[in-house]
Amino acid sequence: MAMMSMIAVVAMAENRVIGDGRGLIWHIPNDLKRVKMLTMSCPLIMGRKTWASIGRPLPGRASIVMTRNKLWIADGAIAVPNLEAAIEAAQSWIENTAGSRPDIILFGGGEIYSQGLEYCHRVERTVIAKKLDGGADAAYFPELPQADWDIEIEAEVEATNDVPAYRYESAVRREPPRQF
Protein backbone atom coordinates (compact mmCIF):
# COMPACT_ATOMS: atom_id res chain seq x y z
CA MET A 1 0.00 0.00 0.00
CA ALA A 2 1.42 3.38 -1.05
CA MET A 3 1.75 6.14 1.55
CA MET A 4 -1.54 7.97 1.96
CA SER A 5 -1.60 11.73 1.77
CA MET A 6 -4.24 14.44 1.99
CA ILE A 7 -4.96 16.91 -0.81
CA ALA A 8 -7.39 19.84 -0.67
CA VAL A 9 -9.36 20.48 -3.85
CA VAL A 10 -11.11 23.85 -4.04
CA ALA A 11 -12.42 26.56 -6.33
CA MET A 12 -12.38 30.04 -4.89
CA ALA A 13 -12.71 33.67 -5.89
CA GLU A 14 -9.77 36.06 -5.64
CA ASN A 15 -11.01 37.06 -2.14
CA ARG A 16 -11.13 33.35 -1.15
CA VAL A 17 -14.96 33.09 -1.22
CA ILE A 18 -15.96 29.49 -2.02
CA GLY A 19 -19.75 29.73 -1.81
CA ASP A 20 -22.70 31.45 -0.16
CA GLY A 21 -23.20 28.75 2.49
CA ARG A 22 -25.75 26.86 0.38
CA GLY A 23 -23.96 26.29 -2.89
CA LEU A 24 -21.46 27.57 -5.40
CA ILE A 25 -21.96 31.05 -6.82
CA TRP A 26 -20.54 30.27 -10.28
CA HIS A 27 -20.90 27.53 -12.85
CA ILE A 28 -17.68 26.48 -14.56
CA PRO A 29 -18.26 23.15 -16.33
CA ASN A 30 -14.56 22.59 -17.09
CA ASP A 31 -13.69 23.06 -13.44
CA LEU A 32 -16.24 20.43 -12.45
CA LYS A 33 -14.55 18.07 -14.91
CA ARG A 34 -11.18 18.85 -13.36
CA VAL A 35 -12.57 18.17 -9.86
CA LYS A 36 -13.88 14.83 -11.09
CA MET A 37 -10.48 13.93 -12.56
CA LEU A 38 -8.62 14.97 -9.40
CA THR A 39 -10.92 13.12 -7.03
CA MET A 40 -11.95 9.95 -8.89
CA SER A 41 -11.31 6.72 -6.90
CA CYS A 42 -10.56 8.72 -3.72
CA PRO A 43 -12.39 9.24 -0.44
CA LEU A 44 -13.82 12.75 -0.02
CA ILE A 45 -14.01 14.38 3.41
CA MET A 46 -16.73 17.02 3.48
CA GLY A 47 -18.92 18.95 5.91
CA ARG A 48 -22.61 18.23 6.26
CA LYS A 49 -23.48 21.54 4.55
CA THR A 50 -21.38 20.66 1.52
CA TRP A 51 -23.05 17.25 1.36
CA ALA A 52 -26.42 19.05 1.43
CA SER A 53 -25.33 21.34 -1.39
CA ILE A 54 -24.41 18.35 -3.60
CA GLY A 55 -27.37 16.24 -2.50
CA ARG A 56 -26.03 12.83 -3.53
CA PRO A 57 -22.91 10.67 -3.30
CA LEU A 58 -20.40 11.34 -6.08
CA PRO A 59 -19.86 8.15 -8.10
CA GLY A 60 -16.55 6.30 -7.83
CA ARG A 61 -15.65 8.08 -4.58
CA ALA A 62 -16.49 7.75 -0.88
CA SER A 63 -18.53 10.59 0.62
CA ILE A 64 -17.34 10.90 4.22
CA VAL A 65 -19.54 13.49 5.88
CA MET A 66 -18.61 15.27 9.10
CA THR A 67 -21.52 16.15 11.40
CA ARG A 68 -21.94 16.61 15.14
CA ASN A 69 -25.48 15.25 14.86
CA LYS A 70 -25.21 11.63 16.03
CA LEU A 71 -28.57 10.79 14.45
CA TRP A 72 -27.69 12.05 10.97
CA ILE A 73 -27.79 9.53 8.15
CA ALA A 74 -28.06 9.79 4.38
CA ASP A 75 -28.04 7.23 1.59
CA GLY A 76 -24.53 6.87 0.20
CA ALA A 77 -22.85 8.91 2.96
CA ILE A 78 -20.45 7.70 5.64
CA ALA A 79 -21.26 9.90 8.67
CA VAL A 80 -18.39 10.70 11.07
CA PRO A 81 -18.33 12.76 14.31
CA ASN A 82 -14.95 14.51 13.90
CA LEU A 83 -11.91 14.92 11.65
CA GLU A 84 -9.95 12.06 13.19
CA ALA A 85 -12.83 9.69 12.50
CA ALA A 86 -13.07 11.08 8.97
CA ILE A 87 -9.40 10.33 8.33
CA GLU A 88 -9.78 6.81 9.75
CA ALA A 89 -12.82 6.19 7.55
CA ALA A 90 -10.90 7.47 4.51
CA GLN A 91 -7.91 5.22 5.26
CA SER A 92 -10.06 2.17 5.70
CA TRP A 93 -12.02 2.94 2.50
CA ILE A 94 -8.75 3.16 0.55
CA GLU A 95 -7.49 -0.09 2.08
CA ASN A 96 -10.72 -1.96 1.39
CA THR A 97 -11.64 -0.63 -2.05
CA ALA A 98 -10.22 -2.22 -5.18
CA GLY A 99 -8.86 0.37 -7.60
CA SER A 100 -8.81 3.16 -5.01
CA ARG A 101 -6.05 5.78 -5.01
CA PRO A 102 -4.13 6.65 -1.81
CA ASP A 103 -5.16 10.33 -1.82
CA ILE A 104 -7.58 11.54 0.84
CA ILE A 105 -9.40 14.55 -0.58
CA LEU A 106 -10.30 17.46 1.68
CA PHE A 107 -13.44 18.49 -0.19
CA GLY A 108 -14.79 21.43 1.85
CA GLY A 109 -16.58 23.53 2.73
CA GLY A 110 -15.06 26.38 4.66
CA GLU A 111 -15.20 24.77 8.12
CA ILE A 112 -13.67 21.54 6.89
CA TYR A 113 -10.89 23.25 4.91
CA SER A 114 -9.85 25.31 7.91
CA GLN A 115 -9.72 22.26 10.19
CA GLY A 116 -8.06 19.87 7.74
CA LEU A 117 -5.56 22.06 5.91
CA GLU A 118 -2.75 21.35 8.38
CA TYR A 119 -2.81 17.70 7.21
CA CYS A 120 -2.61 18.58 3.49
CA HIS A 121 0.67 18.42 1.64
CA ARG A 122 -0.91 19.80 -1.53
CA VAL A 123 -3.78 22.07 -2.58
CA GLU A 124 -5.29 21.95 -6.06
CA ARG A 125 -6.95 25.31 -6.33
CA THR A 126 -9.00 26.95 -9.05
CA VAL A 127 -8.91 30.72 -8.64
CA ILE A 128 -11.66 32.74 -10.25
CA ALA A 129 -9.98 35.98 -11.24
CA LYS A 130 -12.33 38.37 -9.49
CA LYS A 131 -13.65 39.21 -6.06
CA LEU A 132 -17.12 37.84 -5.34
CA ASP A 133 -19.66 38.60 -2.65
CA GLY A 134 -20.82 35.41 -0.95
CA GLY A 135 -23.36 37.18 1.24
CA ALA A 136 -23.96 36.85 4.97
CA ASP A 137 -23.27 33.10 5.12
CA ALA A 138 -20.26 33.11 2.78
CA ALA A 139 -17.71 30.34 3.22
CA TYR A 140 -13.99 30.94 2.63
CA PHE A 141 -10.84 28.96 1.87
CA PRO A 142 -7.94 29.71 4.24
CA GLU A 143 -5.01 31.84 3.13
CA LEU A 144 -1.90 29.97 1.90
CA PRO A 145 1.06 32.02 3.17
CA GLN A 146 3.96 32.28 0.66
CA ALA A 147 6.34 31.28 3.45
CA ASP A 148 4.66 27.89 3.83
CA TRP A 149 3.49 27.08 0.29
CA ASP A 150 5.13 26.85 -3.09
CA ILE A 151 2.40 27.88 -5.54
CA GLU A 152 2.58 27.22 -9.28
CA ILE A 153 0.09 28.36 -11.89
CA GLU A 154 -0.73 25.37 -14.07
CA ALA A 155 -3.07 26.99 -16.58
CA GLU A 156 -4.90 30.25 -17.16
CA VAL A 157 -8.27 30.36 -18.87
CA GLU A 158 -9.70 33.52 -20.40
CA ALA A 159 -13.22 34.75 -19.72
CA THR A 160 -16.05 33.91 -22.09
CA ASN A 161 -19.59 35.25 -22.18
CA ASP A 162 -20.70 32.59 -19.68
CA VAL A 163 -17.65 32.03 -17.51
CA PRO A 164 -15.26 34.48 -15.81
CA ALA A 165 -11.49 34.16 -16.23
CA TYR A 166 -9.87 31.64 -13.90
CA ARG A 167 -6.61 29.81 -13.34
CA TYR A 168 -5.53 26.45 -11.96
CA GLU A 169 -2.92 26.55 -9.20
CA SER A 170 -1.08 23.73 -7.51
CA ALA A 171 0.29 24.56 -4.05
CA VAL A 172 2.77 22.27 -2.31
CA ARG A 173 3.80 22.64 1.31
CA ARG A 174 7.44 23.56 1.80
CA GLU A 175 7.62 21.46 5.01
CA PRO A 176 5.82 18.15 5.60
CA PRO A 177 2.25 18.54 6.89
CA ARG A 178 0.94 17.32 10.23
CA GLN A 179 0.92 13.52 10.21
CA PHE A 180 -2.25 11.55 10.67
Ligand X SMILES: NC(=O)c1ccc[n+]([C@@H]2O[C@H](COP(=O)([O-])OP(=O)(O)OC[C@H]3O[C@@H](n4cnc5c(N)ncnc54)[C@H](OP(=O)(O)O)[C@@H]3O)[C@@H](O)[C@H]2O)c1
Residues engaged in binding ligand X (CB under 6 A): 10-12, 18-24, 47-50, 53, 66-69, 72, 81-83, 107-112, 115, 139
Longest CA span, the chain: 46
26 versus 97: smaller Cβ distance to ligand X: 26
36 versus 174: smaller Cβ distance to ligand X: 36
Closest CB 160 distance from ligand X, rounded Å:
19
H-assigned helices in 82-179: 83-96, 110-116
H-assigned helices in the chain: 29-39, 48-54, 83-96, 110-116
Closest CB 1 distance from ligand X, rounded Å:
27
- What residues are paired with 159 via a beta bridge? none
18 versus 104: smaller Cβ distance to ligand X: 18
70 versus 160: smaller Cβ distance to ligand X: 70
Burial class (CB in 10 A: 0-12, 13-18, 19+), 115: middle
Nearest to 139 by CA among 161, 111, 118: 111
Closest CB 98 distance from ligand X, rounded Å:
27
Closest CB 87 distance from ligand X, rounded Å:
12
